[in-house]
Amino acid sequence: MPRKRDSQHGTPQFRVPTPYSLLPIPSAPHATPVIFSDFDGTIAQVDVTDVILAEFADPAWHEVEEEWVEGHIGSRECLKRQMAMVDASAEQLDALIDAVPLDQHFAEFHALTRERGIPFYVVSDGFDYVIRRVLRNCGVDGELLNGSHLFSSAIQVRGRGVEVDFPHWPEVCVHGCATCKPEVMRRVRGEHRPVIFIGDGLSDRFAVEEADVVFARDKLLGYCREHGVACTAFETFGQIEREVLKQWLVAGSR
């Protein structure tokens, strides 16, 4: 069964165009918030990459995960090594992705941000192919699907393996991120304030430094409490919707 592939040592053969270059730069200061959200464990109720690895990868992926949790390697090296252990067909991957449970309030929340003109971006160490398929399944469309508001790692299924790429950005950042969330936020937020971040995990700990308002759960909530980062605990996008409406939309419409 072919498992080891050499693609992670070579030059990736594909590269996704950098979406931020397509974005209009806001010309005047205004008080519209901008929202950045993690995907796995935040919009999706599970970490899809972990589910893929648990289902289709050599169990040695857990050892690599430990190295990341202990801070010996960044998420970019972690994902590169783990995804090289995946042995699955495109059909198997698609079936797994189609069973991913979502926050049931997310589609409504996303529709509200579009209606109110609040820019909404997904920033994720996870993979574009997975995220687009999950979002399409729940009826989300627009900028998240065409790529201009989605900043993630990239994946291509080749035979029974996958090739990964990190288009945001090819240079590794100081944290070793797969997708450097704080860097995306600095480049994209423009004049929008407050900068709102929503997340759940360890890969979000650098992002909260760039946010004015943080909604957190699970590991990120623990991290924020431990490090004195102000945040609001949340369980669903329904709660976030009520908070956002209460604090910014109502105030802004007076």
In the complex, which residues of this chain contact Zn ion (CB under 5 A)?
173, 175, 177, 180
Closest contact distance (angstroms) between CB of 122 and Mg ion is 11
When binding is defined by CB under 5 A, the residue of 5, 34, 36, 41 that contacts Mg ion is 41
Q: In whole angstroms, what is the distance from residue 153 CA to residue 170 CA?
A: 10
Is 33 one of the binding residues for Mg ion (CB under 5 A)? no
Closest contact distance (angstroms) between CB of 202 and Zn ion is 12
Residue 163 interface partner, choices Zn ion, Mg ion, none, CB cut-off 5-8 Å depending on type: none
Per-residue contact string for residues 174-203; x = within reach of Mg ion by CB under 5 A: --------------------------xx--
Residue 201 interface partner, choices Zn ion, Mg ion, none, CB cut-off 5-8 Å depending on type: Mg ion
Residue 40 interface partner, choices Mg ion, Zn ion, none, CB cut-off 5-8 Å depending on type: Mg ion
First to last CA, the chain: 64
Is 38 one of the binding residues for Mg ion (CB under 5 A)? yes
**Among residues 44 and 177, whose Cβ is nearest to Zn ion?**
177
**Among residues 32 and 37, whose Cβ is nearest to Mg ion?**
37
Closest contact distance (angstroms) between CB of 185 and Zn ion is 11
**Among residues 38 and 128, whose Cβ is nearest to Mg ion?**
38
Contact 192, 210 (CB under 8 A): no
Contact 64, 150 (CB under 8 A): no
Residue numbers at the binding site for Mg ion (CB under 5 A): 38, 40-41, 200-201
